[in-house]
Amino acid sequence: MEKIKITLTINDKLREVNVAPNDTLLEVLREKFDLTGSKESCGEGVCGSCTIQMDGKPVRSCLTLALEADGCTIKTVEGLANGDQLSDLQESFINHGAVQCGFCTPGMLISADALLQNNPKPDEKTVRKALAGNICRCTGYAKIVDAVCHAGSPDNQCPDCKTGQ
Amino acid sequence: MRLPRFDYLGPDTLDAALELLATHKEEAKILAGGTDLVVRMKKGLLKPKVLISLKALNELSYIKEDGKEIKIGARTPLADIIASDLIQTQANALAQACEKVGAITLQHYRGTIGGNILQDNRCFHYNQSSFHRSGRQPCHKDGGKICYARDEADRCNSTCQSDGATALMALGAKLTLASKGSARTVNLEDFYTSDGIMPFAMESHELLKEITIPLTGAKSAYHRLAYRSAIDYPVVCAGVLLKPSDTKKEEIDDVRIVVGAMSRSPLFLAQASSSLKGKKLSDIDAFKTAADTAMNSASAFAVHNVGATLAYRCEMVAQMVFRALKEAAQAADR
Amino acid sequence: MSDYTIIGKRMPRVDSRAKVMGKARFTADLKLPGMLVGKIKRSPYAHARILNIDTSKAEALPGVKAVVTGKDTEGVKWGVFSYTRDQQFIQMEKARYIGDEVAGVAAVDEETALEALDLIEVEYEELPAVFESMEAMASQTEPIHEDFPNNINVHVNIETGEVDENFKRAHYVREDTFTAPEDSYFMAEPYAVVAKFDYDGCLEVWCPNGGPHMKSKPLSNAFKIPLHQVKIRKIAIGGAFGGRSEICPADYICALLAKKSDKPVKIEFTREENSIATRQGHAMITTHKTGVDKEGRVLARETTCYLDGGAYVSTGPIAVSVPFLSMEQVYRMESVRYNGYSLYTNKPIRGMIRTHGRCFAAGLDTQLDMIAEHLGIDPVEMRLRNVRKPGEYTNTKSLVGSCAMDETIHKAVVTSGFKDKWGKLPPFHGIGMGTNAVQVGFPMGIRGGSQSFIKFNEDGEATVMSGVVDNGQGNDNMLVQIAAEELGLLPEDIHLVSADTETTSSDPGSYSQVSTFVGGQAVQIAAKNCKQKLFEVAAKVLKVKADTLVAKNRLIFVKDTPEKSISIKKVVRISLTNFNSVNAEGGYWPKVDMKREWVSNPYGQMCEAFSFGTTIVEVKVDPETGQVEVLNATACQDVGKALNPLVLEGQFEGSIAMGGQGGMLTEYHEWKDGRCLNPTMLDYKVPLACDMPTIKNIIVESIEPLGPYGAKEAGMSIAMSAAQGYAAAVSNAIGVYMDSFPLTPDKILAAIKEKKSRPQNKES
C-alpha cells in the first residue's frame, strides 16, 4: 500500500513519517516513534487509554487516522515532563497514590492536563466529568480526582499533598 | 485492532469533496470525527474503498442564525454546540442531547453533529467483531436473512441511538444534503427509510452539509436513560418541543414529542403530541397521559437489542417523555 | 510498635514515576529484533467436533512464518491440579466454547497474520451445546467432557455439626435462592504475551501474570524442558484481580510459534479476546437455608450452590469452595452443610475474581437482614451476634487468630451515621451494611512458601530478590518498604529483582491475598538475617554487643547512645575487606494443614490469618426509573497492620468500584447461544469517575502476630463486603429484599411495582 508522508509536531519536536491510510495515530506513535506510553485497551474509543492531545485537545488516538493528524501538534504522556522534571500534575499523581497498575495513567494524565490548561483549579465535579471518558479499573477514581484537584495548588487540608516531601 | 485497507482523500473544498463523492459513490464514505465510522470499520462491518475526509473543510463548521433559522454546519464539533448560547436559549434540547454523547474528551473534536446524526443504527447482535459474527448465519444488516433480536423477523430491527437526531427531530430540524452541482433540503422526519439496514434516505453521492432549526420561540428539552453516566448510548431517550400559545398565556399551542433509541429511527409521536394542544402548561395529568400514549405508540416498534430489558425500555419511554415535557413547560412558563 | 521509619507511612509508590512518565513497559510495548506478530484462530462454535484442519493456504501466504495446530502439541493437557487436567492448549478433537483455541499463526505483520487466520480452513461438526448450569445437568446429549456425565465437574461437600437436628430446634427457619450471571475482570491491559527461544533451548516469556512460577511449570511440562530453561521475565502488569493466575493457552501457542519460526513472537489480545478467552467470573445460583434461635444466632445452615463452570475446569475446586469459606470465616454457624457444584457448560472458562460469589455473599447478608427484620433485631446487632470472634475455629477447623470484625462494624457504623439513619431515611433512600472475611492464602503444597535473597552492594545499597509479582496493586513498593525498614536504608537504596523465574525462588503468586503475608514476610526475614550480619561487623567496630544495635537512615547505631554510629556503607566495606559476604536469605512458609484438600478433605488449617471488612453504603433510588444514586460508601477493614495507608486506601476505593458500584449495579455478561454480547468496554459497564460515590476509608489494625509487622491483606475484604453493602442499601431503599444480582434499574423498578401491587402493603 502506498505510504504518504506526514508532518507532526510531537512533544515539541517536528517529525516526518510515512504512513499508510489505515494506520491509526496510536499505531504510528507506538510503532514508528516508540512512544509506547499511549496504550490500546479497548481499541474503539471507549476507555481513553490512548488519549493524546492534538492541538491542545484530548483525542482518542485509536480512532484517529494518522493522516488526519498531518500538520498537527501532538502531546503524549512522554511530553508532560520537562526532561527529568515532572509536571505538577505528574507529581500530584505520584503523591496522591493515583497510580496503581498504571495502564490507564497516561490517558488519564493527558485528559487531566487538557482540563488544567483551561481550568487550573477545577472543583471535584468538574474533574470527574472531565475524566468520564477515561476508564480506570484499579483505583475507584478517588485518588485520581484528588490528584487532579490538587495539582495546581497543594492544599494543606489534603494529607497526600505533603506525602513524600 | 487493525483497520482494513482503503484510500484516503482529503479534499480542500466542499466542491472538491462533492466531486470525489460523485466519482466514488457507494465505494466512498465520508470521514468526519470517525468515532462511529472507524469503529465499524475495525469490526469489519464496513469496508469502504475510499475515505473522503472533511478535515480541511472548516467551511462546514459553524453555528449561525438569520432571524428565522439556526444553521449548523455538519462538521461542527459537539463541544461548540454545547457551549453555544444560541443553542442553549433557542434549542436547548440539542445542547442537552450533545452533552450526553460519549464524554467530554470525545466532544471536543472527534464528535461532530453530522456524525452524530449519521451514526449507523445499532444492535448488540450486529455491532460485534467479525469473529463474533462468524459461526452463525449473517443477520439482515450483515447481508443475511435472519434477525437475532426478533424471531422470524423479515427485516432488520436495528435501533437508531442518536441523541442528536432525537433532539433535532423534536426541534423540527431540516437537513441540507449537497451533491455535485445541487443541493436539497429534507425534513429530518422524512430522512429515514424505516429500513434498519440502510436507515437514511440519502444517496451515496450526497453529503450532509447543514442542519437548520426553525426559530419559533418554543421551549425544548431532552432526557435520556443509560446504564452509565457517560460513554454510553441511550437505551431510551425523548426530545420534546413545546410552543406556548401567542394569545393565551399558560396554554399550549403545539407540541412535538420524539422518542429515540426505540426503533429504526427517532419516532415522532403525532397522537401523543396533538393530545396536548390547548392544554395548560401546568397540566401535569395531561403530560402523564401524553407520556403514556407515547409509550404505547413507541413500544410497538421496539426489540431487545441494545441492552436493558425490552419491558423496561418501553416503560421508560413514558418517564423520559414526561420529564422532558415537564422541563420544557417549566421553561416556557418562565 | 509505632517505632517504624518507613512502615505505616503514606509512602508514594516506587513504580509510579515510570508510570506517570509513560516509561513503564507493559508486554505489548516490547519490541525484540525480528519479532513476529502472532494470532490465534478460535472456534466460532460453542460445541463442535473438529473434523479437519487445513493450514496449507495459510502456510503458503508470503510473510507467514509459522502455523501451529493441536498436532504440534503432543496432546499435553493442562489443569491446576493433577486430577483436573482437562484442557489442551490447542484443541484437536473438540471445541467446547466460542473462542476455544484451534490454531495459531505467526507472520511478519498484523495484516498478514490476520489474513492467514482467515486462510486456515477448519471443518467442524456442530454438536448440541448447553449454556446454563441447570440445562447442563439435565442434558441428555453428549457431555462436554466424556468422563463427566451430566456435566457435573466438581462437587464439594462439607458438613459439620448436627445440621438436621439444629434445624428442628431452630426458632425460625427460612430458605431463599439468590442468583447472578457472569461478571468480568476487565483489567485495563488486554492480555499479551511475548515469547522467544534462545539458541540453547531456553524459553523466555513476558506476560501479565499472577505469579511467574505458576507460568513456568506448565510451560516446562508442555515443552518437556527442564524448569530452569523457562524464564518468565518481569514486566509491568495492567491488573489481574484473580484472572491471571494460571497459564493461558496463548502463552503456550506464542512459545510454540516462536519455536517453530525461530523468531520472537508477540500475541496481543483484542479486548474481546481478553473477555471471552482468558477468564470470567462464574454465574451462580445459591440457596441458603438458615435456622436461628430466638436471639438470631445461626444454629444451622444448609447452602447449595451451582456454579456455571464454563468449558474447562480451571480453578474449579477452589472456585466452588471459596464462597463457602468467606461465609464460614465471617459468620459463626453451629452447624453447616454445603454442597457446591461446578457444571461444565459451553461457555468461556471461569476463574476466581475479586468479588467471586457475589450472589452467594450478598444473598447471605440479605437473608440475615430478612431474619433480623422478622425477629425485630437491627442489622448491626444481627451481625454482632453472629460474626467471628478472635480465637475461634471455623466450621472446617481453621483457627482464627487476630480478628477485629466487631471493631470494623462499630467504626463503620459510627462514621456512616448508620444508627441515626437506619429506619429514619425518607422513602427510596436507604442504607445497608455488609460484612465479610477473606482467607490470607490457602494450602498450595510445595508452592505455598516464598523465599528471598538480599545482597549488599559495595556502595551500601541493597538488591532484593523475590518471586512476588506486582499486578498493579503495589507489591513492589511493599517489598521495598519492608526491606528498607529492616535494613535501615532509604527506599531509594533498595533495588528490586522480582517476578523473574530465573533469578527468584518460588512464590505462591499474588492471587490468594498472600503476597504481603508470605512474600513480604520472606523479604522481612531475609532482611533481618542480612542486618544481623551487618550488626556483627558493626558491633566489633563500635565495640558493643550486636543486640544493642539498630539500623536507620543508612546508619547503624547503639540504641541508647545514638551518637555511637557507623554508616551502613562503611560496615559493608569493612565486611568485604575482612573476607565476609554481606548477603542473606530468608523464607516464609505458612503453617497450614498440608492434608487439607479442596474436594477430598476440606478440613484443617486453611491459612494463618483472615482479614475482616465492613462496608456501609447509602443510596437513593429513583422510584420512577429504578436508577440508583450512591451517596456515600464507608469502607472499614481489619488489615492487621497498614504498611502503607496510601496504598491501602487505593485498594479500598478500587474495591468499592469493582465490588459495589460495578459488581452490584451494572456489571454482568449477556449471551445469545453461548456468544457473549458484551465483551467490549462499551457494552460491559465498568463504573466511571462520575458514577462513583464519596468513599470514607477506615483502617483497623488488629496486629496479626504471624504477619509481617502484623499485616494481613487488603485487596478483597472490602470488595466482597461492598457487594453485600450495596445490595443491602438498595433493598433497604425500596423495601424489597432483592435476590437477583446485579441490581439493574429494570429489576429494581419491577420490585417497586410488585410491592405496590401487593394487597397488603406491609411495612418493611
3-class DSSP string for C574-594: HHHHCCCCCEEEEEECCCCCC
Q: At what angle do helices A105-118 and A88-95 cross, to 10 degrees?
A: 130
Q: Is the pLDDT of residue B10 over 70?
A: yes
User: E strands along chain B, which residues?
Assistant: 7-9, 28-31, 50-53, 63-65, 69-73, 174-179, 182-187, 207-214, 219-225, 236-244, 252-260, 267-268
Alpha carbon of residue C752 to chain centroid: 35
Chain C residues whose CB is inside 8 A of the B225 CB are 625, 627, 745
| Closest Cα in chain C, distance from residue B4 (Å) | 8
Asked if B106 has any chain C CB less than 8 Å from its own CB, the reply is no
- From C98, C114, C749, residue closest to B312, measured CB to CB: C749
Asked if B105 has any chain C CB less than 8 Å from its own CB, the reply is no
pLDDT digits (tens, 9 = 90+) for C498-551: 999 999 999 999 888 999 999 999 999 999 999 999 999 999 999 999 999 999
Sheet holding C48-54, edge to edge: C94-95, C48-54, C121-126
CA-based nearest residue in chain B for residue C48: B135
Measured from the Cβ of residue C525, the count of other Cβ atoms closer than 10 Å reads 22
- From C646, C652, C689, residue closest to A132, measured CB to CB: C689
Could you tell me the pLDDT band of residue B334, with boundaries at 50, 70 and 90?
Answer: confident
CB contact under 8 A, C188 and A49: yes
Could you tell me the pLDDT band of residue C491, with boundaries at 50, 70 and 90?
Answer: very high
Chains near A (3 or more Cβ pairs under 8 Å): B, C
Cell of A63: 480512532
CB contact under 8 A, B225 and C111: no
Chain B residues whose CB is inside 8 A of the C114 CB are 2
Could you tell me the pLDDT band of residue A164, with boundaries at 50, 70 and 90?
Answer: low
Residues 6+ apart with CB under 8 A from C583: C453, C454, C455, C456, C530, C533
CB contact under 8 A, C190 and A35: no
Cell of C729: 442499601
Q: Is the pLDDT of residue C761 over 60?
A: no
Asked if A97 has any chain C CB less than 8 Å from its own CB, the reply is yes
Q: What's the mean pLDDT in A92-117? A: 97
CATH architecture classification, B1-53: 2-Layer Sandwich (3.30)
Could you tell me the pLDDT band of residue C204, with boundaries at 50, 70 and 90?
Answer: very high
CA C599/CA C155 separation, integer angstroms: 7
Asked if B311 has any chain A CB less than 8 Å from its own CB, the reply is no
Residue with C-alpha cell 465498568? C686
| Closest Cα in chain A, distance from residue C204 (Å) | 22
Are C438 and C720 in contact by the 8 Å Cβ rule? The answer is yes
- From A4, A51, A63, residue closest to B38, measured CB to CB: A63
pLDDT at C1: 44
Nearest partner of A145 among A162, A130, A165, judged by Cα: A130
- Domain spanning A4-79 has what CATH number? 3.10.20.30
| Closest Cα in chain C, distance from residue B195 (Å) | 23
| Closest Cα in chain C, distance from residue B58 (Å) | 30
Q: Is the pLDDT of residue A74 over 80?
A: yes
Residues 6+ apart with CB under 8 A from B186: B174, B175, B177, B201
| Closest Cα in chain C, distance from residue A127 (Å) | 9
Nearest partner of C717 among C731, C699, C742, judged by Cα: C699
Amino acid, single-letter form, for residue C434: G
Asked if B47 has any chain C CB less than 8 Å from its own CB, the reply is no
Amino acid, single-letter form, for residue B42: K
| Closest Cα in chain B, distance from residue C44 (Å) | 5
- From B124, B125, B312, residue closest to C746, measured CB to CB: B312
Amino acid, single-letter form, for residue A39: K
Task: Count contacts between A and C (CB, < 8 Å).
Answer: 190
CB contact under 8 A, B136 and C673: yes
- From A23, A43, A58, residue closest to B42, measured CB to CB: A43
Q: Provide CATH 3.90.1170.50 ranges for chain C.
A: 31-127+188-239+245-276
Chain C residues whose CB is inside 8 A of the A49 CB are 188
Residues 6+ apart with CB under 8 A from C156: C317, C320, C321, C324, C338, C339, C340, C341, C598, C599, C602
Helices (H), C69-196: 110-119, 133-138, 163-169
- From B5, B230, B319, residue closest to C688, measured CB to CB: B230
Q: At what angle do helices C745-757 and C717-734 cross, to 10 degrees?
A: 40
CA-based nearest residue in chain B for residue A44: B39
Could you tell me the pLDDT band of residue B307, with boundaries at 50, 70 and 90?
Answer: confident
Measured from the Cβ of residue C705, the count of other Cβ atoms closer than 10 Å reads 11
Give long-range contacts, CB 8 A cutoff, 24+ apart: C426-429.
C427/C623, C428/C620, C428/C621, C428/C622, C428/C623, C428/C733, C428/C734, C429/C618, C429/C619, C429/C620, C429/C621, C429/C733
- From C268, C681, C690, residue closest to A132, measured CB to CB: C690
Measured from the Cβ of residue A165, the count of other Cβ atoms closer than 10 Å reads 8
pLDDT at A1: 67
CB contact under 8 A, B42 and A44: yes
Could you tell me the pLDDT band of residue B107, with boundaries at 50, 70 and 90?
Answer: confident
Which of A2, A44, A113 is the best substitution to test chain B (most B C-beta atoms within 10 A)? Answer: A44
- 8-state DSSP, C489: -
Q: Looking at the domain C31-127+188-239+245-276, which fold is it? A: Aldehyde Oxidoreductase; domain 3 (3.90.1170)
Nearest-5° angle of CA B214, CA B217, CA B223?
80
Are B209 and B73 in contact by the 8 Å Cβ rule? The answer is yes
Asked if A140 has any chain C CB less than 8 Å from its own CB, the reply is yes
Which of residues 33 through 92 in chain A touch C, CB cutoff 8 A?
Answer: 34-44, 46-47, 49, 76-78, 80-81, 86, 90
Q: What's the mean pLDDT in C288-316? A: 98
Are B162 and B119 in contact by the 8 Å Cβ rule? The answer is yes
CA C706/CA C712 separation, integer angstroms: 9
Q: 3-state DSSP call for residue B103?
A: coil
CA B291/CA B318 separation, integer angstroms: 4
| Closest Cα in chain C, distance from residue B300 (Å) | 19
Q: What is the CATH class of A88-159? A: mainly alpha
Could you tell me the pLDDT band of residue A161, with boundaries at 50, 70 and 90?
Answer: confident
Could you tell me the pLDDT band of residue C764, with boundaries at 50, 70 and 90?
Answer: very low
How are beta strands C101-107 and C64-69 bridged, if at all?
Answer: antiparallel
Are C499 and C455 in contact by the 8 Å Cβ rule? The answer is no
CB contact under 8 A, C22 and A36: yes
Mean pLDDT rounded to a whole number for chain C: 96
pLDDT digits (tens, 9 = 90+) for C693-732: 999 999 999 999 999 999 999 989 999 999 999 999 999 9
Measured from the Cβ of residue B72, the count of other Cβ atoms closer than 10 Å reads 29
Q: Is the peptide bond before C742 cis (omega within 30 degrees of 0)?
A: yes
Chain A residues whose CB is inside 8 A of the C190 CB are 40-41
CB contact under 8 A, B1 and A22: no
Q: Residue B203 — φ and ψ, nearest 5°?
A: -80, 155
- From C12, C18, C23, residue closest to A95, measured CB to CB: C12
CA B146/CA B152 separation, integer angstroms: 7
Could you tell me the pLDDT band of residue B110, with boundaries at 50, 70 and 90?
Answer: confident
- Domain spanning B61-118+159-333 has what CATH number? 3.30.465.10
The CATH label, of 3.60.150.10, 3.50.20.10, 3.50.50.60, 3.30.365.10, for the domain at C16-23+444-588 is 3.30.365.10
Asked if B111 has any chain A CB less than 8 Å from its own CB, the reply is no
pLDDT at C2: 59
The CATH label, of 1.10.1200.10, 2.30.140.10, 3.30.365.10, 3.30.160.20, for the domain at C283-443+596-757 is 3.30.365.10
* Interface ipTM above 0.90: yes
Task: Count contacts between A and B (CB, < 8 Å).
Answer: 90
Helices (H), C673-716: none
| Closest Cα in chain C, distance from residue A87 (Å) | 10
CB contact under 8 A, B5 and A68: no
Asked if B3 has any chain A CB less than 8 Å from its own CB, the reply is yes
For chain A, give every domain's residue range.
Answer: 4-79, 88-159
Chain C residues whose CB is inside 8 A of the A76 CB are 22
Task: Count contacts between B and C (CB, < 8 Å).
Answer: 70
| Closest Cα in chain A, distance from residue C233 (Å) | 17
Q: Is the pLDDT of residue C345 over 80?
A: yes
pLDDT digits (tens, 9 = 90+) for C208-264: 999 999 999 999 999 999 999 999 999 999 999 999 989 999 999 999 999 999 999
First to last CA, chain C: 47
Asked if B110 has any chain A CB less than 8 Å from its own CB, the reply is yes
Q: 3-state DSSP call for residue C621?
A: strand
| Closest Cα in chain A, distance from residue B234 (Å) | 15
Chains near B (3 or more Cβ pairs under 8 Å): A, C
Q: What's the mean pLDDT in B214-223? A: 96
The size of chain A, in residues, is 165
- From C12, C25, C26, residue closest to A164, measured CB to CB: C12
Asked if C96 has any chain B CB less than 8 Å from its own CB, the reply is no
Q: At what angle do helices B92-99 and B310-333 cross, to 10 degrees?
A: 140
Are A74 and A26 in contact by the 8 Å Cβ rule? The answer is no
CA B64/CA B84 separation, integer angstroms: 10
Q: Provide CATH 3.30.365.10 ranges for chain C.
A: 16-23+444-588, 283-443+596-757
Chain B residues whose CB is inside 8 A of the A22 CB are 2-6
